[in-house]
A = this chain, B = another copy of it.
């Protein structure tokens, strides 16, 4: 009785919401930032940068990956993660559009 009425909404809104959800945990923002800073794509020692257990961090990585914001390249035993720039750019554009509709200066109430 409590699920997935989300398809009832506009497709772009849906996609945008999903991406914001992917970014809605500080650990995932930290991962994104870390991956952006260490230009060389980084392996799962990301866990050492994040104050959470290894499996939990892995879970967050999986979420970012399923949202399409990062990629993981397997090389030997290690998996190298990196940002998916294209997706990040797409998000940036959608976000721009969102703020375009939402953030005009003469909106609302007693302001």
Task: List chain A positions with a Cβ less than 8 A from chain B.
Answer: 5-6, 8-10, 13-14, 16-18, 20-21, 23-30, 32-33, 35-37, 39, 41, 51-52, 71, 73, 80, 82-83, 85, 88-89, 92, 95, 98-99, 101-109, 111
Contact B26 A9 (CB under 8 A): yes
- A9-B51, A104-B36, A107-B39 given; A24·B20 CB < 8 A: yes
Contact A103 B92 (CB under 8 A): yes
Contact A36 B82 (CB under 8 A): no
- A41-B108, A51-B8 given; A102·B88 CB < 8 A: yes
Contact B92 A108 (CB under 8 A): no
